[in-house]
Amino acid sequence: MATIETPELAIRLARAIASDISLYNEEKIADGIKNDRLFDAIETELAEGRELYLSRIAPQLAATSNYFDRAVVDVILRAKGHIRSKLW
């Protein structure tokens, strides 16, 4: 499989991975938000997602971007803003 070289495709990949994490871990994510421990609750899933993302994009793109982190915030956190939390 070819390495992703463009920011547009890297963003799309990051968002797809974050979307899968969100879809398959709804309960963990909701519990993590409610109890202010989201990143602990899905630590394994995020690590696996990041590893997949980094394995698919060009090294120079990985070194100069934070697309995966932004996708986690945009796709997982923003979409779950309706869940009650101590933070909001």
Whether residue 38 is predicted with pLDDT greater than 90 in this model: the reply is yes
> Which of 21, 14, 19 shows the shortest CA–CA distance to 39?
21
Position 69 confidence tier, pLDDT thresholds 50, 70, 90: very high
- The CB density around residue 17, as the number of other CB atoms within 10 Å, is 23
pTM for the whole thing? 0.91
For the residues 4-10, what does the mean pLDDT come to? 97
For the residues 80-85, what does the mean pLDDT come to? 81
Across all residues in the chain, what is the average pLDDT?
93
- Residue scoring higher pLDDT (10 or 83): 10
Whether residue 54 is predicted with pLDDT greater than 80 in this model: the reply is yes
CA 24/CA 86 separation, integer angstroms: 24
